[in-house]
Amino acid sequence: MALDGAEVDAAEATRLERVFILFDGTDEAALAAARVQWKTLTSAGLAAQYWSEQSGRWEKKAG
């Protein structure tokens, strides 16, 4: 589980069963960093899902 902008690279994620990247979606810098990680990991061929709690419930948004 990665918190507060901790980076997870594709080589590390490949060795793991699951990786959770948690970030504050109301923080523009955190959101931008999460988008970069998403692109990096999916470009490496890793499957990814994006979930949001914006509505007050967890909802799958992508993946």
Residue 4 lies in a domain: no
> Is residue 1's pLDDT more than 90?
yes
Residue 5 lies in a domain: no
Identify the domain containing residue 16 by its residue range: 10-62
pLDDT at 11: 93
Residue 43 lies in a domain: yes
Residue 2 lies in a domain: no
CB atoms within 10 A of CB 48: 14
Name the domain count of the chain.
1
Q: Which residue has the tokens 């504050």?
A: 24
Q: For residue range 13-63, what is the model confidence (pLDDT) as tens digits?
A: 999 999 999 999 899 999 999 999 999 999 999 999 999 888 889 999 998
pLDDT at 4: 85
Classify 31 in phi/psi space as left (phi over 0), alpha (psi -120 to 50) or beta: alpha
How far apart are the C-alpha atoms of 47 and 24, rounded to whole Å? 22
